[in-house]
Amino acid sequence: MYCSKCGKELRGDMQFCWNCGNKIEIIEEEIKPIEEKETETVEPEKEILEKTFCWNCKEEIDKRMDVCPKCGTTVKLVISKNPGIAAVLSFLIPGLGHAYNGKITIGVIFPIVEILLIIISTYLIRTSKIIDGFILLILVTGIWIYGVYDSYKTAEKINNERYK
């Protein structure tokens, strides 16, 4: 049996689709004998490797399920991050996009490194080591651009992990 909304395979005792939450309506049809060779199908129960429990009805369910097949409750909190917002935040303040993505440690390290390098490059420029100071400023700019790129890619990775 398959969900009429999303097409995922269902067990016979499910009242709601485990993927989209669609209420399962059983329509009695005339059962026709299958004349073709029966192919081996894997039962959904045998595919379940990691189990968890629905917080609402306490039914044991597959950890990959988004919706409890027994009561229809959403069991996963879907957290998605906007890569564009992460990139803009890191562009404005280095490390802020990483903090937005939940990577607090790197979100703190980025601005500290940037500030220290700017202080050192300013000191070098003031002490007549202008070329060294400007090389360090180029390094600061490169780290800043990398931070923007990395926060964007981290947000994309967070969003893609849900579908693995």
Residues 106-148 have pLDDT tens digits of: 999 989 999 999 999 999 989 988 898 899 999 999 999 999 9
* Average pLDDT of the residues of the chain: 79
Choose from 14-18, 31-35, 82-86, 155-159 the range with maximum mean pLDDT: 82-86
When comparing pLDDT for 56 and 30, which is higher? 56
Interval 50-59: pLDDT, tens: 777 776 787 8
Name the pLDDT band for 30 (thresholds 50, 70, 90): very low
* Tokens coding 55: 């917080």
- For residue 14, give the nearest of 50, 49, 65, 64 by alpha carbon: 65
Query: pTM of the entire structure?
Result: 0.53
